[in-house]
Amino acid sequence: MIHQIIFLYFATVILVSALLMITRRNPIHSVLFMLLLFFHIAGLFVLLNAEFLAAVQLIVYAGAILILYLFVVMLLNVDQERQSVRANRFWPWVAAFGVLIAGEILLLISRSTFPGDAGKTMATPGAGVMELGQALYTQYLVPFEIASVILLVGLIGAVMLAKKAVKE
């Protein structure tokens, strides 16, 4: 029973902080709500006895990527973004798309099967970090490298935007 209460706490805080993250006008507040989200996701991993994933969540996401976002927000002109007109006319479209995605998820849950699960067997219970590393660097090497290049391009883009703003 206590696990269900803790899970409901984590799930509620994750949903609320995600909603607050995308609705705040101040980008710094959005980054702080993202930090809250990352910590509670790590808490869910601990609840699932996946301490390694919780540590990776905190080190990689809360430690590295969030700091990258924070630097990008600091390098850009926050006051100009706060005073600009927001795209409120798209909220009905965003809400309709969210309802559509929620409906699809509920449909999959009600069928109690997912298309990707058909014919697949469960991984061995002893599969750990070594197997994950082997799969990551053998089968999934190209997607892993593509993800690193995308992150590098984002970092270079943020530096170029900041450099451009300084020249003006």
Would you state the pLDDT for residue 161?
A: 74
φ/ψ bin of 123: left (φ > 0), alpha (ψ from -120 to 50), beta (otherwise): beta
pTM over 0.85: no
Indicate whether 111 pLDDT > 90: no
Tens-digit pLDDT profile for residues 127-147: 677 887 888 888 888 888 888
Place of tokens 């100009």: 80
Tens-digit pLDDT profile for residues 67-87: 777 777 777 665 555 555 555
Average pLDDT over residues 91-118: 78
Indicate whether 14 pLDDT > 90: yes
Of residues 77 and 20, which shows the higher confidence score? 20
Would you state the pLDDT for residue 77?
A: 61
Would you state the pLDDT for residue 29?
A: 85
Lowest pLDDT segment from 33-37, 77-81, 95-99: 77-81
CA–CA gap between residue 55 and residue 61 (Å, rounded): 10
Residues making up the chain, counted from first to last: 168
Nearest to 65 by CA among 161, 160, 165, 152: 152
Residue 71 near residue 155, CB atoms below 8 Å: no
Would you state the pLDDT for residue 60?
A: 84
